[in-house]
Every structure is written in structure tokens, then in C-alpha cells.
Structure 1
């Protein structure tokens, strides 16, 4: 892969090589339509001229509140070609977070996706004095309703840019490309400053390892606001001349997969877990003969993928399972899926092995927003399930055991051109994570095995100590629990306690079906979750899922709630990471009661206010 210094070079190269090829696909009125690379390049040039007509210039910052859409990419690449930093945000974030970020980064322009977002942003100029323009990705109706800022539209800026073109600049590798704000699991979001060189180096390193090409296609639903979607999908796919179909919504992913026939699926583990859970549930409804063939086929595929030789019976079994079952599952995903790229959090070994056995090769990787994001990845010729792979070219990983006092496990420290410039206006926090020798302290626990594969075992800040002095990393335990068809979500707790407990959000449909089969009927979900037999059933499922956990990691008691953890109620970040402090603030009395002998459940209506 030719080395690229900035994101403008990246796009220019692809426009010259792949102009007539399809780039973005969108669905409207039941049909998919595609925009080519050449058409995209023209839109970028026109929008660049439109931004210039507003007075936007090199060094400015433009905020972008939108889910994935063609206009998102047009705006971002137009900014890159002006030396302007893009500040992406999620539609699902709270207006107070938008205001905080826009004020913190001193953005002069905010681009908003929908009328609903615009209504919530009308008072932004009062909270963020730097904001001078609001650009709507729709045609606003009525007079300007945002005092202190001029409102215009995407269409108007395209027209202005066509009349008054603005030349592109060639940013330096040190120029800021993005300010991507972290999710704020432990406080206010922090602006991660990523340079053109940070991101371009990451793209080139990934493409040195994984052979994506112009014939590849992805179904894009991983937010480009998230650094994994931003670098790993948007920039990587554009660099190789591949195409991206923009998913209609999360609940239509499977339907869209069948329609656009992608070769690549980039996702956080939760989507792969849902695929796993869905297939497992469907198999329970099949005849015993099919179930037996399914399980035997999975075992044979797992052995073959580990490089083990199969006997004649196993080969025949795998061939039959693939023809009768696995091929039909792949057909539901479009029939052409070759690669499943997982990042953003740890992927369960069981799920990775399952997807791999279906004939879809899993490449799990690891990274953070602060590392642009990719640090390590599995790739052809160097792949080991259960690990996040080896460090990418140009990146070095060291394990600092000074705090853990463990012979193997410690904090993951990253060195390389992908390490961020720093946090915006956060000197103390920069000092805490940026080492004098250029290393970045990730805050993640892990180790390198004897073959150089990186294992990530948890977050240092999430790790807590039981009364007996044993340290517990809750995330891997929670990931195991969430593979159960009876468990939708979970939070493990035990800081300075005798043992671990868990707050469980059951899969209410599955639990209700079990209860009916047991002859139990209830007036409300709350009544069901308070019943001792229901609690015992969930406890038994928790015990089953954590059967291979160490003794001190076992979960002795559970509390149940029918309130799921979501971004809307503030218990998850927009990237689906658990906000433990928020969950604990609401459910601390319920969890504390488990230690005082109470085993009553905590359905939503009985939960403490918060």
C-alpha cells in the first residue's frame, strides 16, 4: 500500500483510480441507488466552496450531528480538503452534550441532520458563542430561528460552491483532521485530537495486512462518528475503491445484508452476538436430526479452522452441514460475506468460533479513539481466535506491570504514528496518559502471549477488589452472560464486598415463555421478576454461563429488572459501552440489598428513582 500523508491524498488517489465505480448506496422507496466516486468528488468540491462562502478557513472546526449518510461523508471530506477539523457527534446524544462539545472545541459551524435536531439546537449559539452558522441537511422552513447564528441548508451551500469554487489544500500530516469526543463513561466527553498523519498511517497499516479491494462491499451501520467506523470502514473502503451500502437502520441490518450482498461486515461484537443468538434460537425449533447435524458441523468446522486434520466422517459431516444449514445462513447475509471484522470491545470466543464455522472468516482487532483507532488485528496468515491479533506495522505494544504486580498481565501501552496528538484543552489528563517516551497509556489490561498475540482482559478503572483481595474484571464475565438466550444485559458488581452479585436485564419474551411452560402466570412483568422460581431460573442460567469462571469470580446472587440499559436512558454510551456509574447510581440500593440477605427482584416500577 502506497503511503499516504493525509486524507486529501487518500480521496484524490481513489477519485483518479475509481471514478466510475459505485461508492455509496442508499435505499429509498424500496430501491437501492448508487453514487459513484466521481459524483462524490464533485459534491465534495461544491460543498468546500459552500463552506468557504461562509468564511470557514484553515484551522476552523465544523461540528457534524448526524448518523451515516452521503452528506456526512461529503461534509467531512470537504473539511479535510480545507484544513478544517471535523467534530462528529451522534444523533442519539443529549442536546447538553452537543452544546458542551461545540463550546469546548469552539466550532464555528454546526451541520445538523434532521428538523428534530435543529429544533433542539436553536439555542446553541447562546451556549456556544463561537457558533456562527447552522447548516441543515434538509430545507428549513420559515425564518431563521437560531438567534446569533445564520441558518442555511446543504443544498444552498452546494449551489454557492458551484458558483464560487474554492481550491483544495494539501494538509500536512500534523494538521488536525478530527476532534472525536470520547463517550464520557466516567465524566464529560474528552476531545481526542487526531491528525491527518494519525489516521492516514492507520489506514495504510491496516491495508498492508488485510487484502481489501475494489470488488469489496460493506453494509455500513457502524457510526462514522465512532473511530472504528470512521477509519476502519469509511477511509479504508474509500482508499481501495470499495463500495458501502448505508443501512436503513439497526433493525433492518439482516434484511439489508440480503439485498446488497456485502463481502465485508464491520461491527462491534453486539451485532455478531445477536446473529449468534438468533441462529441458536432458530436451531432449537428444528427437528432433532437437523440440530444434531448443526452441532456436529460446528465441531468439525472449529477443528478444521484450528488446522486440525479431519477424518472422513467429519469431512462428510461438515460438507453436509454446510450444504443443508450453513449455506442457508450465509444466504441470509447476502451469500457473499467473506470477512467479519470485529472491534470496539471484546468478542466472545464462542461467538467468533461460531461465525468462523459458518464459513465467514472472523478478524478481531483492538484499538481506541486515541490510537486512530487500530492497535492490533488478526489478519490472513496470523489469526488466533480469542485474541485481538498482533500489533499493526509501525505500532509497538508494551505491557506495564508496575500497577498490577502480576507476572503476566498489565496495562497496555501503545507506541506509534497512530497515537493521538492529545486531548483538547486537557493538560492534566494528557499528563496522565501520554508518557515522556511517546507511549500512550490505554487504561486497558492485557498481555502478549509467547507468539506475540495481544489478549485484552478488561479495563483498569472497571477492575475492582473483593474483600479477600482478589481482583475482578467484570466486562468479560458480563459478555459471557449476554450470550444466554435468557439474558439481554448484565452488570456485575462486588467492589470491596465478600462476593460478586449481578443486575440482570432478562430477555423478557424468552423468560415469559419459560414461565408459561412451568405453569406460572403473572399480572405484570414486575410480578414475574419478583417470583422466587423466576429468580432461581435466572440464577441457574448465570451459573451455567459462568461455569468456567474462577471461584472468586462466581456470581452468588442476582437482582432482576425489566429496564434495559440504553443510550436513551443514559446507561449506555452511543457506542453501547456500559456507564457503570449511572447504573450504580440508580440500582445501588437494590444491589446492596443482595448482601443483606434480600433476594427480591427489582423490576422497573420498584427500582429506586434516578
Structure 2
């Protein structure tokens, strides 16, 4: 296979900053005014040149590790592309991570230069410079003086060290996966991995994405999904990226940035879907009737491509103006579509957003595959699937791990997107590859006759009940959290006679539920009242009844006011459940349910 140019991130960046020099690239919210300030591709290139020269003056060379502890921001991209221009390895870390994980990654990756976002983080990790032999420099973004990034950029402006073009096989980054039962693993990804994957994704959307495309950056670039799908992909067509301030300001950020396309995860759309439906239920009366009739007309209009009767056409026209346009305005009014990964999107949620005019496309991948393997797109889309293989990527289904007659098995992959391996972990690397060079994803799925992939579960997550029947918990959980009463849920039942479910209620909705039940109790105590628990359990079972077998529907529940969050360690940085840790946290209550 001939590898196309640009086959590395340095040439991709330099080509983009020359071709789209005057285009907006990054937008950052001004805390005081609330407005977004934008800088151009040319502005970013100057900062990258300066910072690369500064790193070179600190003797950062090919193969050295440059670490960063920061959320998405201009300086993240500047540090990344400056490092790539010296053929150094970039090692991103999450801000919302514990100190021991930072220490482990800095030591394991042999970080030589570390950039941190704030003085507070600097105070937490400054002692590591005396404890980790490789760590020579720590600098801070949001500060002034000789320890600041600005100071280094000013020094670099006088040096002018040209970039070095990496080979396709040179390591670009170490992406550390979240370790739930063991230490994090550093995924070694090359320049060729990233460049080929971003190009392949762009080609699926080249009719949708151009210089006018705008993204609101929600997902962390410390994960390969955000990096490849947003940061590197956007360089191919000269689009703009605005940075979300935080999750609490998301609604305002949508309106200010006016994104045309989003890189997201299903959880974002699930919450919006549940919120819209709950709001309409609260409104009731005429507004609720209009909302439901509009959705019905919109779905018929979409499915029949506008070839509907006069009554439906009139209803759609009125509803689109009075209802759907107002929903779209909550996204800034310009959003046309989104691609979601990390988990399977619920079909009903997908249909809902398509009906209101925002198409959501499922994709699938892993950190180990840079990350995209398959993708749906406007020209090639099957709702319920995660799409077909991207160019130059092959998929096979290995049924050796399945002990039944089903047509699915382990999804295995080959292509230019496969990682080199896990850093410093030769045994784990050997185990994740087959003898003939295919990467074992650990996910269970099947291919249809058209090559579309359907993910049916994860071998690490699936379990057998006492009766021998398999359960894939994530699909059940995704349906449960669509209920407005539920913020999060986890199914458990391995080797047990039945499933149980740990439920985190939505506190805001719970207040309204209490009003409905005429319960006058403090909201933090509501979830412990028997009648509230009975009400929520009944609603959960009812929502699952027609879709799942009786053995899959949970028989008993644990209700808790403690949310599953990144901060308390129960979610990964990409918002996936750390199942073993949740089970450990609630093991006594789980045992009590079975006893």
C-alpha cells in the first residue's frame, strides 16, 4: 500500500497553516465578556515555531518525551505540534486526574519536559523533578515570569529552529488508557497512524466539512478520539474549533460558537434528549401536544423524504417553525450533524435528532487503532450499526471465543491505524495481537452483507447469569439512562440468579417526581424513601420490558445519591464506567440484595 502525503503530523500542520493562513482556527471564551476570541491558522503557526525553537534550546531531541497536563486549549495544540516538529513524543495527561497517575505516566514515559496548565497543578507535582530522573523541566501556562510558557515562547522567537519532518513510523504520541484494574497502558501511536486515520475520516465527510465548518470542542484531546477526529481532521479542510469553557457553560457556548458539526459521545446526546422530553412533559397541555405531533410529522417527513400528504406537510411546516427551530437554536442554530464514539448510540435518540434536523452518525474504534475503525456518514449510513471500515482497514470476526451458534465473535482489525504496541509492556502487546498480526479488540460484533459492523457487546463486560445466559450490560444501561429520572446506572449479575441495578437519580427531576408523589422531603433524602424507590424501579422495568428478556431486566435495585464521575474515580476520562470499582464500592449492598 502506498502511503499518501502528508504522512505525518508536521507536514499536515504546515500545509494547513499555509493553505488556510487567514482562516479562524481556535476560539477561546473571554471569562469577563463571555465572548469568544479567535486566532488564525497563521497565528498558531507563529506560536508553534517559537515554542519548537524554545524546546530545542532546552535540548529536547528526537525520541524525547514532552508531557502536558491540561485541558483542550490553544497552548495544548502549540505544545503538541512544536514537539512533533522535533520528532519528540507528546504525552498528554488529563487535568482531572489524581497525582499518582500523573506520577506513573511521567515516570513510565520518561518525560523530559512537562507543561502544566496552572500554578495549582505545578504545586502538586513540582517535587517530581527531584524524584524522577528524566524530568528536567516543568513550565506553567497560566502564569508569568521565567517559569511560564510565554517566557519560553519569547525566547524561542529569537532562535528560529526549523522543523524536522518525521518518518511515517516515528512515534508521535503516547496515549495512556485509563487503568481500572491495573496501571495505565501507554499506547504508542505513530505519525502515520494519526495522519492516515484523520484523512480516512475526512474523506467520509468531505461533502459536509469545509472551511466554513465549526466545532465546539467537548471531548478531551488527551484521548485519541478527540485528537484525530477533531484536531487533526480539521486541518485537512481549514475549519474552526471553539473551546467549551466547561460542562456548566455548554448551553451558552453552543449559542456563542454556533458549531456546524460536533465530535461527541452518546452521553452528551442522551442528556440533551432526556432534558428536552422532560421539559415538554413539565409544560404539558397544548405545548406537549404540539411537540408530539411535530415529532410524528417530522419523522414521517424524513422517512418519506418529503413525499407526504398535505396535512403532514402543514403540521411539519408549523412544527418546524414553532418547535424544532427553537430546539436547534439551543445548539447555536447551525448544527447539521455529529459523529459519536465511545459507546453505541441508542436508536431512538438517533432518530429523534435526525427528525429535528441534526444527523448523528455512529463510529467505532479504540485508542489502539488511532482510533477510528468504522464510521457511518451521510453517504453510507445504517442506524444501529457503527458503520463500515475506513479505507485500507480490514475487519474480521473471530468466533473462537464464542461458545454458542451466534454469528458474532471478536472483532479483529488490520490496517495503517494499528499502534506499535504498549510502551514498556511487551507481554500485554503480545497478547493483544494475533500470531498473524491482527489486533484483538476485545469487543464482540458481527458484519452484515454490506460490510457494516454491529457491536453486540464487550467480552470483558459480558457475563453469565447462574442459569448460563449471557448478559451484555452496557446496552441495558444506555436504555435506562434515557429515562428522565435516571442520571446513571450500572447492571450487575455475574454468576448470580438475577441482575441487579445501581441507580443514580437525576436530582432535578427527582424534585418534580416528589411533587408528583406529594412527598415533602429534602431532595437528598428522597431517594431513600420506599415509595420513591418503588416508583423508579417500576419505571425502569417498564422501559425495558419490550426490548429485553425477563432474565436481563434487573430484579433488585440500589439507589444512591453519589454520582458516577471522573473525579470520584467511577468514570474514565471518556465517561465510561469503571465497573470493577463501582462493584467494589457497593459490594456490601450488592451482597445484601442476593442474601
TM-score normalized with structure 1 length = 0.93
CA distance in 1, matches of 2:474, 2:578: 12
* Partner residue in 1 for 2:484: 485
- Secondary structure at the residue paired with 1:177? strand
Q: Quick check: 1:351 aligned with 2:346?
A: no
Which of 135, 145, 150 in structure 2 is aligned with 1:131?
135
Give, in angstroms, the shift of residue 524 of structure 1: 6.7
Residue-by-residue CA offset, 1:465-497 (whole Å, 9 max, x unaligned)? 101001111111111111111111111010100
- Residue matched to 2:250: 253
In structure 1, what is the equivalent of residue 226 of structure 2? 229
Confirm or deny: 8 A CA contact 1:502 1:591 kept in the other structure: no
Alpha-carbon separation, structure 1, partners of 2:447 and 2:288: 38
Taking the aligned partners of 2:298 and 2:151, their CA distance within structure 1 comes to 56
Q: Note the residue ranges of structure 1 that are not aligned, 5 or more in a row.
A: 142-150, 597-610
Stretch moving more, 567-576 or 315-324: 315-324
Cα distance in structure 2, aligned partners of 1:111 and 1:197: 25
Matches within 5 A, 1:312-327: 312-327=310-325
Superposition deviation, residue 128 in structure 1: 2.3
Matches within 5 A, 1:212-291: 212-291=209-288
Equivalent of residue 544 in structure 1, options 528, 542, 545: 542
The structural deviation recorded for 1:277 is 1.4
CA–CA distance in structure 2, aligned partners of residues 338 and 523 of structure 1: 42
Q: CA deviation at 1:296?
A: 2.8
| Range that drifts further, 452-461 or 94-103 | 452-461
1:288, 1:5 → 2: CA distance?
58
Deviation at 1:306, TM superposition (A): 4.1
The structure 2 residue matched to 1:196, chosen from 173, 182, 191, is 191
Q: After TM superposition, list the pairs within 5 Å mapping 1:95-106 onto structure 2.
A: 95-106=99-110
Task: Name which of 66, 81, 88 aligns with 2:85.
Answer: 81
CA–CA separation in structure 2 for the residues paired with 1:595 and 1:339: 45
Deviates more, 1:88-97 or 1:581-590: 581-590
Matched, 1:388 2:386: yes
What is the aligned length? 586
Deviation of 1:307 (Å): 5.0
Distance of aligned partners of 1:306 and 1:397 in 2 relative to their CA distance in 1, 3 Å threshold? farther
Aligned twin of 1:332: 330
2:336 and 2:358 in contact (8 A); partners too? yes
Alpha-carbon distance in structure 2 between the residues aligned to 1:172 and 1:82: 12
The aligned residue for residue 430 of structure 1 is 429
| Aligned-partner SS, 2:153 | helix
Q: Does the aligned pair in 2 maintain the 1:489–1:506 contact within 8 Å?
A: yes
Match among 299, 302, 310 for residue 302 of structure 1: 299
Distance 1:307 1:553 in 2: 35
When residues 579 and 35 of structure 1 are mapped into structure 2, their CA distance, relative to the original with a 3 A threshold, is: same
- Other-structure match for 1:510: 509
Q: Deviations over 1:521-568 (max 9, x none)?
A: 335734x33322112111112112212112221111111111111111
1:462 equivalent in structure 2: 461
In structure 2, C-alpha distance between the alignment counterparts of 1:329 and 1:523, rounded to whole Å: 32
Counterpart of 1:155 (choices 134, 150, 159) is 150
Q: How many angstroms apart in 2 are the aligned matches of 1:302 and 1:239?
A: 34
Task: Tell me how far apart the structure 1 counterparts of residues 192 and 21 of structure 2 sit (CA, whole Å).
Answer: 25
Q: d(CA) in 1 for partners of 2:493 and 2:421?
A: 34
Distance across 2 between alignment mates of 1:13 and 1:388 = 31
Deviates more, 1:1-10 or 1:453-462: 1-10
Aligned to 2:470: 471
Structure 1 residue matching 2:496: 3-state secondary structure:
coil
Within 2, Cα distance between the matches of 1:522 and 1:388? 44
Task: Write out per-residue CA displacement over residues 554-583 of structure 1, whole angstroms, 9 at most, x where no aligned residue.
Answer: 111111111111111111112211111111
Give the secondary structure class of the aligned counterpart of 2:581. helix
Q: Is the 8 A contact 2:301 2:312 kept in 1?
A: no
The answer to whether 1:63 aligns with 2:67 is yes
Report the alpha carbon displacement of residue 515 of structure 1 after superposing the two structures with TM.
2.2
CA offsets 1:245-279 (integer angstroms, 9 cap, x no match): 11111111121111121111111111111211121
| Greater displacement, 429-438 / 168-177 | 429-438
Distance between the aligned counterparts of 1:307 and 1:460, measured in 2?
39
State the 1:390 CA deviation: 0.9
Question: How far is 1:436 from its partner?
Answer: 2.6
Distance of 1:127 and 1:584 partners within structure 2: 35
Q: Counterpart of 1:101 in 2: which secondary structure?
A: helix
Assess, with a 3 A threshold, how the Cα gap between structure 1 residues 268 and 110 changes in structure 2: closer, same or farther.
same
Structure 2: segments with no counterpart, 5+ residues = none
Shift of 1:427: 1.1
CA RMSD across the alignment: 1.6
Alpha-carbon distance in structure 1 between the residues aligned to 2:565 and 2:578: 10
Q: Which moved more, 1:381-390 or 1:486-495?
A: 381-390
Instruction: Give the aligned partner of residue 6 of structure 1.
Output: 8
CA distance in 2, matches of 1:304, 1:438: 47
CA distance in structure 2 between the partners assigned to 1:436 and 1:494 by the alignment: 34
Please report how far the alpha carbon of residue 2 of structure 1 lies from its aligned counterpart in structure 2 after TM superposition.
Answer: 6.4
